[in-house]
């Protein structure tokens, strides 16, 4: 997906403190839980919500996995997100 920070800021509003992400365009954007991960579907392309938020805030697609410090995949507060690698136990 070739979306930019500007594209995301036109499509969404994000509150870094609460972690709330809301849409502000009429085009079909679906937010749905997908195997315990929040996923956004934009024109049929599924993207993890945490990656959308990373792009929205930093202006760059994440270089790795966006993980949650508290391990709660529903907590999208900016202070809770970081780049890391998923380890399988």
Q: What are the tens digits of pLDDT across the range 3-43? A: 899 989 998 999 999 999 988 877 656 666 666 778 888 87
Per-residue confidence at 86, pLDDT binned at 50, 70, 90? low
Q: Whose CA is closest to 52, among 22, 27, 28, 89?
A: 22
**Strands of 45-48's sheet, edge to edge?**
29-34, 37-42, 45-48
Tokens of 89: 């136990």
Percent with pLDDT over 90 in the chain: 51
């Amino acid at each position: 997906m070739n979306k930019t920070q500007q594209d995301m800021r036109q499509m969404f509003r994000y509150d870094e403190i609460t972690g709330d992400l809301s849409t502000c365009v009429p085009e079909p954007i679906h937010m749905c839980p997908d195997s315990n991960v929040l996923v956004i579907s934009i024109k049929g392309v599924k993207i993890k919500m945490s990656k959308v938020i990373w792009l929205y805030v930093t202006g760059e697609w994440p270089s790795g996995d966006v993980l949650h410090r508290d391990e709660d995949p529903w907590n999208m507060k900016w202070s809770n997100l970081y780049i890391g690698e998923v380890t399988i136990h």
